[in-house]
Amino acid sequence: MELYYGRPADETGRLAREIRTYDLLDSLGIPYRRTDHEAAGTMEACNAIDAILGVVICKNLFLCNHQKTRYYLLLMPGDKKFKTKELSKQINSARLSFADADDMLKYLDIEPGAVSVMGLMNDKDHAVQLLIDEDVLDEEEFGCHPCVNTSSLKMKTADVIEKFLPAVGHDYFPVHLVGED
């Protein structure tokens, strides 16, 4: 794996959702580093990628309430355990579960293993509430997928919060997750 500045020079074979991610980041003037790799669908697979990027890729969880009337995208450190009960209390939503692949595609235009904050650019109806663990907010840099799990990006956390989110019409709700019982 190599680390590159910006988008791929040759976009042949890349999915439209990935190219749209680069187009948006470039139009917003958000600099990013990129590496290409084999499909990385688990946090374990992301460890080698983290070493190349020099940043920990966030764990991105796409969640919903029991009635499937509220959807949430949770960004948290990859090494932190997710406890449903801990998050449910903070957002006042009982019985959270993982949303299914069809909803992921419908709202974020992303498939399992590629969930990313970048998918919010596809949520035109603002159906998904972004939740960010405070430990992610405290980091200077941020790692995520560009809506596919065969590339990974590194950019400034401030650029995601101050440029990307306003551009896609999303805000975020900070959460405090300990990850312990």
Q: For residue 172, what is the DSSP state?
A: E
Q: What rounded mean pLDDT belongs to the chain?
A: 92
Q: How many residues are recorded in the chain?
A: 181
Q: Residues 157-166: pLDDT tens digits?
A: 999 999 999 9
Would you kindly state where each structural domain of the chain is located, as residue ranges? 4-173
Q: Residues 13-64: pLDDT tens digits?
A: 999 999 999 999 999 999 999 999 988 766 666 777 888 898 877 889 999 9
Which CATH code is given to the segment(s) 4-173?
3.90.960.10
- Coil, strand or helix at 179: coil
What sign does the dihedral 102-106-110-115 (CA atoms) show?
negative
